[in-house]
Structure 1
């Protein structure tokens, strides 16, 4: 199998399947709500829709996408306290 296949497969697994496992293992009583919260944290990746190509497994998002800028990361860090 080609390396790109594994990178892409791992990427989508970690975005969609792994959060279900985390939610179900650690928050069994409220796993659906927890899964939705974990998915909501990925809204920061909406800025990938403005890139060409949308997904590039060899691109580092930090500093490339506007929601992945150092200023945005600082805001996300501050939001941890609210």
Structure 2
């Protein structure tokens, strides 16, 4: 998904955009704060600090800042995919 978005919307720098969006997977480090670290029946949205609704709102606001736009889009894609995972549980 990030690669496709990078190719369509950031074609002049799509590799850089793809790498930045891919690097947003680092937000999953907040899973290490949970006990147990992995629970297949737990929805991460609203549970982990970097997956909270406040954090998602901040990620959405970051879209307005040109220097953070690619990072913001990557984080929002990450949250969307996690939310879709929650729906399938």
For the aligned pair, the TM-score class normalised by the smaller chain equals 0.5 to 0.7
Q: TM-score with structure 1 length normalisation?
A: 0.55
Larger relative contact order (Cα-Cα within 8 Å, sequence gap ≥ 6)? 2
**TM-score scaled to structure 2, two decimals?**
0.51
Task: Count how many residue pairs are aligned between Structure 1 and Structure 2.
Answer: 62
Within 5 Å, give how 1:18-37 maps onto structure 2: 22=3, 26=7, 33-37=16-20
Gaps of 5+ in 2: 66-89
Corresponding position of 2:73: none
- 1:2-21 map, 5 Å: none
CA distance in 1, matches of 2:23, 2:36: 23
Partner residue, 1:77 = 60
Larger radius of gyration: 1
Unpaired runs of 5+ residues, structure 1, are: 1-17
Deviations 1:6-34 (A, max 9, x none): xxxxxxxxxxxx75xx36xx389866534
